[in-house]
Amino acid sequence: MKKSFGILLIMIKPDYQCVGYFKLFLLLAVISGCTPSVTMTVEVTETDVITPTEPVEEIVTNPLIGQLLSEAEEAFDRNYLTTPVEDNAYSRYLQVLSLDPGNIKAEQGIANIVDRYLDWAIVNARNDNIRKATDYLNKAKSIDNTHPGIPSITSLITDSQNRKSVSFPLNSSDLIAGNQLILEQLHEVAKEIQNLKATVVIKAATDTLGRWIYQQLNQTSDNRVSATFEYHPSPHIILKY
């Protein structure tokens, strides 16, 4: 009859010396004719325990918000900023903010509307369209009267109101022919630009004619002429001073 005995081995940390003693003990047991019965207990650390992760809360987005943002962008691209009443970008952005206060896209969209109105105010002020410039400025202020660009644009409109201007009509036939008569006229205009220290608006039927007029003014002027170009069927030059 074979003898048996049990061995209880508890291993908490790896110890190579203990492993050696264990092997020797098993060898002696075999030699003595005993059948060893080994029970091993392994310590489980906290790092071995798999803990369930916290469930991630799903963020639910109101589908109406996406629709309103899309419609607002389309209205903005058509320059329907605050009008017409039933179809404009501003009202849709406000609806988004009522559903989702602090929505970044809606806030940026409103800021873009203000910037566009101010851009239009600048262009019209420089073209002496004071009524339109003032109207666009007021629309921008009605949305955000703290915009940092408002004071400078207000001053620009005021300066435009106080500036004088003089217009020099150009004969279309002479202009197309580029004859001596038109060259002499442009030479006289260039002198007036220097004397008045004026800003220049060149109006012509084509971009090519406008560029040619600009080149002639520069060639007969001691200083480089600062000018803007606008399309107009009847060519003429406007000096603002």
**76-119 confidence digits (pLDDT tens):** 999 999 999 999 999 999 999 999 999 999 999 999 999 999 99
Torsion of CA 205, 209, 213, 215, to 10 degrees: 150
Which of 162, 192, 226 is the last residue before a domain boundary? 162
Query: Quick one: average pLDDT of 34-50?
Result: 48
Model confidence pLDDT, tens digit, residues 126-172:
888 899 999 999 999 999 999 999 999 999 999 988 888 899 999 99
Q: What pLDDT does residue 39 have?
A: 47
Contact 172, 235 (CB under 8 A): yes
Look up the domain containing 186 and give its range.
165-240
Same domain, 74 and 104: yes
Q: Based on the structure, what is the number of domains in the chain?
A: 3
Q: Mean pLDDT for the chain? A: 83
Which of 119, 138, 162 is the last residue before a domain boundary? 162
Same domain, 81 and 156: yes
116: enclosing H helix or E strand: helix 104-126
Q: Which two tokens stand for residue 41?
A: 């207990």
What is residue 214's three-state secondary structure? helix
Same domain, 158 and 68: yes
d(CA 127, CA 133): 9
Candidate from 9-18, 117-126, 164-173, 194-203 with smallest mean pLDDT: 9-18
Question: Does 54 reside within a domain?
Answer: no
Please, what is the Cα angle at 206 between 136 and 159, to 5 degrees? 35
Q: What pLDDT does residue 5 have?
A: 44
Torsion of CA 122, 126, 131, 134, to 10 degrees: 30
